[in-house]
Amino acid sequence: MNDRFLRACRREPVDCTPVWFMRQAGRYMQEYQAVRAKHGILEVCKTPELAALVTLQPIERFALDAAIIFADILLPLEPMGIRLEFAEGEGPVIHNPVRSRAAVDALRAVEGDELTYVYDAIRTARRELHDRVPLIGFAGAPFTLASYAIEGGGSRNYVQTKQMMYREPETWHRLMDRLARVVTGYLRRQIQAGAQAVQVFDSWVGCLSPSDYAEYVLPHVQVIFEGLKHEGVPLIHFGTGTGSLLPLMRRAGGDVIGVDWRVHLDEAWTAIGHDVAIQGNLDPVALFGPLHEIERRVEEILRRAGGRPGHIFNLGHGILPQTPVDHVAATAELVHKLSVG
């Protein structure tokens, strides 16, 4: 098996820097569009054969060092009692937002067994991969899940979310604790099904100040990483807009800390400490630029990594829908070529 991704997660020497991309299975690929023309996103997620098919599409096409199971971070909310819909052109919509103590208490503390279709997709994808590259599982972090559940969808300012934090801290912590325990069980079952690494996505946590993160988020993320540390697979902790939160994220846990493009990779690595691995951090919009500009930026990130074991090349967030496919292919190849030796 090509194990350079797993080796880098453990900060072991590799022949060249491993690369994979968040949302590497997605709308920028014609193969994915062909599947989605016939099936809604939740249908793809809940049909193991389709989810595995989509998971493998970028592996068949690009020189990537890891696959990531096709799913959605909001899937665990459904068995908890939250009514979820993906509206065309709008993204996720939650029809019963959680904005009171009664609503929090009504949420079911599920064990993760209700998401068997994800575990079946992982088993199917592992079989189809034939150990060509490792398979990554994932889940949303408690804050990001809570923000969707409270706001009823995406948000720019997270007013409802922060109102609950500040006005009803006991309700907030009750919600976060429930989410943390659901996520822990969900990821543990993904690992048992065959995921060889897992990533916790805290996509929206960058809206918080360091003091708010420390008080309202960090203890709950620690529950997840503490609960999974003996599972024997690398644990990746990722967020966006987290330049000021990196030391706290390190405290919260993870063998690998993912960083976005708003911070220099070498400065981020210094902030989290060189005794953990780092993942990142090309701006996803850079993939729309000319190839010479992409090469310059890849080279700079690799230079900032300094050849130190423990760097996994990735974007600072997911691939965008209109991204040129040939630029994705070229970027993966550039990372390998420019990091050899």
Residues belonging to the active site: 23, 27, 36, 72, 148
Closest CA to 90 of 54, 128, 41, 57: 41
Q: Quick one: how many helices (H) and strands (E) in the chain?
A: 15, 9
Report cis status (omega within 30 of 0) of the bond before 314.
no
Question: Residues in the chain, how many?
Answer: 341
Closest CA to 224 of 112, 57, 100: 112
Helix (H, G, I), strand (E, B) or coil at 236: strand
Residue whose structure tokens are 């069980």: 185
Phi, psi (rounded to 5 degrees) for 224: -65, -50
Beta carbons of 270 and 304 less than 8 angstroms apart: no
- Count Cα neighbours of 212 within 13 Å in the Cβ-side half-sphere: 16
b (16+ CB within 10 A) / e for 26-35 = bebbebbeeb
Residue whose structure tokens are 């459904």: 78
